A and B are shown apart, each in its own frame.
Chain A
Amino acid sequence: MTKAPYARISVDTFDSADPEVWGKVRTAFAEALGREEDEVELQHKIIEELDAESLDFLDIAFRLERAFDIKIPRGGIENTAKAGMGDEVYEIDGVLTDAAITRLREAMPEVDPAEFPAGLRVTEVAELFRVATFYNLVVHLLNEKAA
């Protein structure tokens, strides 16, 4: 992995994924979820389309950490969103604020912005995660590591 910096992919640029990074991400997902590699695509919703349960996210994270020699922080996506919010409130009684939804849209370019409706609950964010969400997280951490 010497090609950093890598570009994140968005909902319009799934085809631009780095083949080497994507190959390892795909293998990690396939092994963790007990699927064939060709059953895993970047745009797949991890819970709804790949039937992942909560513990599978731990397994996926572990396999990605080993494959790329990185450390994936817990709550990485949420922390990224919160990091850009300054003093603004992230959630009220479990419901994301408008500011939080704006930040999440920026932090998760691989998800169609229309999938972040007003009133989205914190617990529902994971249901939006795509395989590409983890691809982008890995790319972010590889770029950090190379910097």
Chain B
Amino acid sequence: MPARFLFLVHALSPVHRRFIGLRRADPAITLGLRDGTDPYRAIGRICRLRLGAVAAGEVWGVPLDPAQMIEDQERALVRLERAARLAMLEQPVAAIGLGSLAAVVGGRGEALQERLSVPVTTGAAATTWALWKNTVRVLERRPDATAAVIGAAGPVGRAVAELLAADGYRVRVDAKRAAKGLDVEAADGPEAAAKGCAVVVGAATTGGLLPPQALASGAVVVDVALPSILTGPAPAGVRMLAGEAVSCPPSWDPGLWGRAYQVLAGYGPQQVYACLIEPLVLAVEGRGAPYALGRKLEAATVRHFAAQAEALGFQPRLAAGWWAASI
């Protein structure tokens, strides 16, 4: 029996909501006649995912867009809980993952976990794993570079700074608190941290922290922030790389709807974002506790997750947009 998992998402845009409406055969949502806040419309399965005989999962969506998710977090929680319970009525699962703002509302997954008996994991461990490994691949080509971690006060930033420093790289963080107990330099803010650094790590969730003019000429930015860690377009000569892209093993099968979802969600046809595989790995491992929930994220947990994910054939992938990138 494959390990079963569930991944909960919301509409990333009005166009994405129409896709969810189409998938759920809901004409009012598909045609844009409803705004997605009706509690009984278009909550359901988007696609099935399979990793050979090892794991099988489903992506379920709620039609709330980002603004609707944020404006009433309790409403968003109720929708996500309903989606999870409906999915589990059809098929029990061993782990639940959260995508985009589903991983943010309700205390970064904590409130949803209080309502469900299955481990709920936010994807932060997987995101950190991909960002860490992708940054290492860049630093291997620039061994003398200092990596500036922007957003280091957050759980992902703090953990990635710790992991890079433990690997022996020179790291500078943008907040004094983030440097506490770590062998890293501390700078006063994102601009000061990025000054003169050839490698910049965008580790904040929402981005918009670093003015492009603060980047050194020829810098490489490895970024997981959405929409971008930069406050404007990248200057000429600066490379922007997706920090969260992951390549999948040959036995990965997202099916037709899964491929459509991957493209619409911005993954492209050849890769997924790391957070998607966190509940898969959790279900396969059969561990009863999430890798990441709330603000809690330990570097040791990221290392553990990395070993589990890589044993299943997943690998962080240096990418620019949809496509593989080389340094």
Contact of A33 with B71 in the complex, beta carbons under 8 Å: no
Residues of A contacting B294 with CB < 8 Å? Answer: 34
Interface membership of B178, Cβ < 8 A: yes
In the complex, what distance in Å separates the CA atom of A33 from the CA atom of B154? 9
Interface membership of A55, Cβ < 8 A: yes
Residues of B contacting A52 with CB < 8 Å? Answer: 153
Contact of A53 with B205 in the complex, beta carbons under 8 Å: yes
A120 to chain B, nearest CB (A): 17
Interface membership of A3, Cβ < 8 A: no
Interface membership of A51, Cβ < 8 A: yes
Contact of B71 with A65 in the complex, beta carbons under 8 Å: no
Interface residues on A, range: 10 to 19
30 sampled A-B residue pairs with Cβ under 8 A: A31-B107, A32-B295, A34-B155, A34-B296, A51-B153, A51-B177, A51-B178, A53-B151, A53-B153, A53-B154, A53-B205, A54-B204, A54-B205, A54-B206, A55-B104, A55-B108, A55-B205, A58-B70, A59-B108, A61-B73, A62-B105, A62-B106, A62-B107, A62-B111, A63-B107, A65-B74, A66-B111, A71-B72, A74-B70, A74-B71
Scan residues 51-81 of chain A and give those whose CB is less than 8 A from a CB of chain B.
51-55, 58-59, 61-63, 65-66, 71, 74
Residues of A contacting B178 with CB < 8 Å? Answer: 51
In the complex, what distance in Å separates the CA atom of A74 from the CA atom of B68? 11
- Type the 1/0 row for B76-116, where 1 means its CB is closer than 8 Å to any CB of A: 00000000000000000000000000001111100100000
A9 to chain B, nearest CB (A): 26
- Type the 1/0 row for A124-138, where 1 means its CB is closer than 8 Å to any CB of B: 000000000000000
Q: Identify the A interface with B (CB < 8 A).
A: 31-34, 51-55, 58-59, 61-63, 65-66, 71, 74
Which residue of chain B is the closest to A72 with respect to CB atoms? B73
Q: SS class of chain A's interface: helix, strand, loop or mixed?
A: helix
Tell which of B104, B153, B155, B205 has the most Cβ of chain A within 10 Å.
B153
- Residue B175 contacts which of A31, A33, A51, A54 (CB distance < 8 angstroms)? A51
Residues of A contacting B73 with CB < 8 Å? Answer: 58, 61-62, 65
Residues of B contacting A61 with CB < 8 Å? Answer: 73
A59-B74 in contact given A51-B175, A52-B153, A53-B154 (Cβ < 8 Å):
no
Residues of B contacting A59 with CB < 8 Å? Answer: 104, 107-108
List the 7 closest A-B pairs by CB distance, nearest first. Answer: A51-B153, A34-B295, A51-B177, A62-B73, A54-B206, A53-B154, A51-B175
Residues of A contacting B108 with CB < 8 Å? Answer: 55, 59
A58-B295 in contact given A52-B153, A74-B70 (Cβ < 8 Å):
no
- Type the 1/0 row for B56-81, where 1 means its CB is closer than 8 Å to any CB of A: 00000000000000111110000000
B106 to chain A, nearest CB (A): 6
Tell which of B73, B105, B175, B204 has the most Cβ of chain A within 10 Å.
B73
Residues of A contacting B296 with CB < 8 Å? Answer: 34
B73 to chain A, nearest CB (A): 5
Contact of B107 with A55 in the complex, beta carbons under 8 Å: no
Residues of B contacting A58 with CB < 8 Å? Answer: 70, 73, 104-105
